Amino acid sequence: MPEHHRDDEGAKLGMWLFLFTEILLFGGLFVLYAVYLQRYQPDFHLASAELDVRMGALNTVVLITSSAFVAWGIAALKRGNVKVATRMTVLTIAFAAVFLVVKYFEWGAKFHHGLYPGGAELDARAQGQMVYFALYYLMTGLHGVHIVVGMGVLSWVLWLVNTGHVTPERYVALENAGLYWHLVDLIWIYLFPLFYLIT
């Protein structure tokens, strides 16, 4: 088959449509959160107090910084600086890994205290707190899966840049990966206040 037609506008349109579907995927969980928050306000308040705001804040900074790196990388590639683009993408992936490590310690501490669905400590608590922690694990867990996928996508684009498939003339793949990464960042920016700051 010959090389398929190139249509950067179309590729970006497709990416934006895909991002819509991601927002809607999380949207279902946000709806559940809204309903249960309204039903169990005091419990959500108490449960939220147990999360470590410093860890959450640290992760917020990490993720926003990584988003800045990916944007920097795209800008560098557009200007023809492949070296900076590569470095920035590597940094983005590295910061994503930092995010996951912090998350690991957070979840680990909660598990250690029996604060997980079916755990002894959580099962003894009020229903609203059970729902809070179920939503906490579901939403941050799904977000974590997206971080891992994002790392995969960015690594793949990095490989495309290194093998000359993505160049200063055809940078739409990096741009789309960046859009995806911004979305992952954006969702976290909503998750952070909903879970950590409502107390």
Partner 1 sequence: MTESTAQGTFWDKRGLASWLFTTDHKRIGMLYLWCIMAFFAIGVVLGLLIRLELIAPGQTIMGQQAYNATFTLHGVIMIFLVVIPSVPAAFGNIFLPLQLGADDVAFPRLNMFSWWLYAIGAVIALAALFTGDGPPDTGWTFYVPFSAVTTTNVSVAVTAVFILGFSSILTGMNFVVTIHRLRAEGMTWGRLPLFGWSLYATAWIQVLATPILGITLLLIFAERVLGMGIFDPSRGGDPILYQHLFWIYSHPAVYIMILPAMGVISEIIPVFARKAIFGYKTIAVSSLAIAFAGSLVWAHHMFVSGMSDTAVMVFSLLTFIVAIPSAVKVFNWTSTLYKGSIRLEPPLVYALGFIFLFTMGGITGLVLGSAGTDIHVHDTYFVVGHFHYVIFGGTGFGMFAALHYWLPKVYGRMYNKKWANISAVILVIGMNGLYFPMYILGLAGMPRRYFDYLPQYTSMHVASTVGSWITAVGLVMMAVNLWVGMRSGPRVGRNPWGAATLEWRTKSPPPTHNFDEEPIVDRGPYDFKGVQPDA
Question: Where on the chain is the footprint of partner 1 (CB under 8 A)?
Answer: 1-2, 4-5, 7, 9-11, 13-14, 17-18, 20-22, 24-29, 31-32, 35-36, 40, 43, 117-118, 126-131, 134-135, 137-138, 142
Kindly tell me which of 74 and 131 has the beta carbon lying closer to partner 1.
131
Measure the CA–CA gap between 93 and 197, rounded to whole angstroms.
27
- Strand, helix or coil at 5? coil
From the number of C-beta atoms within 10 Å of its C-beta (0-12, 13-18, 19+), residue 86 rates as middle
In this structure, what DSSP letter does residue 117 have? T
Kindly tell me which of 17 and 169 has the beta carbon lying closer to partner 1.
17
CB of 60 to partner 1, least distance (A): 23
CB of 90 to partner 1, least distance (A): 27
Measure the CA–CA gap between 181 and 2, rounded to whole angstroms.
32
SS3 content of the chain, % helix, strand, coil (to 5): 80, 0, 20
CB of 4 to partner 1, least distance (A): 6
Kindly tell me which of 2 and 108 has the beta carbon lying closer to partner 1.
2
Measure the CA–CA gap between 159 and 157, rounded to whole angstroms.
5
| Unique residue bearing structure tokens 């999380």 | 26
CB of 84 to partner 1, least distance (A): 30
Kindly tell me which of 22 and 50 has the beta carbon lying closer to partner 1.
22
Measure the CA–CA gap between 122 and 36, rounded to whole angstroms.
17
Measure the CA–CA gap between 195 and 147, rounded to whole angstroms.
18
CB of 12 to partner 1, least distance (A): 9
Kindly tell me which of 20 and 156 has the beta carbon lying closer to partner 1.
20
